[in-house]
Chains A and B, each alone.
Chain A
C-alpha cells in the first residue's frame, strides 16, 4: 500500500525566513503534485513534477523530486504572510490521477 508522509505537519515561522517541507512516499511513482489549500477552500495546484530530478519554481516556492529517494521537497524562500496555508503533496498511482495524499503541512507565517 502506498503511503505518503509529510513533515512537518505544522510550521510556524517568521516572515523573511526560509524553510523546507518534506514529502516521502513508499513505492515507485514518477508523478508528484503539490497543492495549496486555504481554510474552507478547495485545492489549488502549485506544481506538477513528472520525472526524477524535476525542479520547478514559482515566486518564493520551489519544488523538487528525487524518485530514487522517493522524496519531494517544497522550499519556501523569504516567506511572506500570504503564503500561510496548508500544503499537500500527492502521489499519482499508475499515472492515471488516482492521487494518494499526505496529511498536509499547516504553515503559519507571522509578520
Chain B
C-alpha cells in the first residue's frame, strides 16, 4: 500500500499564476482533507472532501478551491497566487464510518512545497 501520495513534491510559481496540487488517498479511505503549513507554524485546515463534495471549510478565501473524483483522489487549486501562499500543502486521508463520524486516524502525505516568487 503506497499510503497517501501527493504530487508534485516541489513547485515554484509566479505571483498571479494558478496552481493545481494532487492527492491520492490511502487505499480504502474516502475522505480527503487539505492543510496549509507555513514555515515554522502549525498546519491550517483548508477544506475537506467527502463523496465528491466540500463538506467543511476553514478560513481561506475563495481563491482556494478543490475537487474530489469518483476514485476519491483530490485536487487543490489556488488562483491568483500571492507570496503569502508559499507553504507546505498537506493532504490527509481518512475513512468515514456509516454514522458520519471518522473513527480511524488520518494519514498524511509527504506534502507539496509551493514557493511563490
The chain A residues found within 8 Å of chain B, CB to CB, are 4, 33, 41-45, 48, 88, 90, 95-104
For the complex, is B44 an interface residue (Cβ under 8 Å from A)? Answer: yes
> Are A98 and B107 closer than 8 Å at their CB atoms?
no
Closest residue of B by beta carbon distance from A88: B42
The chain B residues found within 8 Å of chain A, CB to CB, are 31, 33, 35, 41-45, 48, 55-56, 58, 90, 92, 94, 100-102, 105-111
Contact among A33, A44, A98 for B56, CB-based, below 8 A: A98
Closest residue of B by beta carbon distance from A50: B103
> Are A42 and B108 closer than 8 Å at their CB atoms?
yes
Contact among A33, A41, A48, A97 for B31, CB-based, below 8 A: A97
A-B pairs with CB below 8 Å: how many? Answer: 55
> Are A97 and B42 closer than 8 Å at their CB atoms?
no
Chain A residues near B58: list those with CB within 8 A.
98
Closest residue of B by beta carbon distance from A94: B56
Chain A residues near B102: list those with CB within 8 A.
95-97
> Are A97 and B48 closer than 8 Å at their CB atoms?
yes
The minimal Cβ–Cβ distance linking A61 to chain B, given in whole angstroms, is 16
Complex-state Cα separation, A93 to B102, whole angstroms = 11
Chain B residues near A90: list those with CB within 8 A.
42-43
Chain B residues near A101: list those with CB within 8 A.
42-44
Chain B residues near A103: list those with CB within 8 A.
41-42
Chain A residues near B43: list those with CB within 8 A.
43, 88, 90, 99, 101
> Are B101 and A104 closer than 8 Å at their CB atoms?
no
Which 3 residue pairs spanning A and B have beta carbons closest together? A101-B42, A43-B108, A97-B102
Chain A residues near B33: list those with CB within 8 A.
97-99
Complex-state Cα separation, A88 to B41, whole angstroms = 10
Chain A residues near B90: list those with CB within 8 A.
42-43
Give 20 CB contacts A-B under 8 Å.
Answer: A33-B105, A41-B110, A42-B90, A42-B111, A43-B43, A43-B108, A44-B108, A95-B101, A95-B102, A96-B56, A96-B101, A96-B102, A98-B48, A98-B56, A98-B58, A99-B45, A99-B106, A100-B45, A103-B41, A104-B41
Complex-state Cα separation, A41 to B92, whole angstroms = 14
Closest residue of A by beta carbon distance from B111: A42
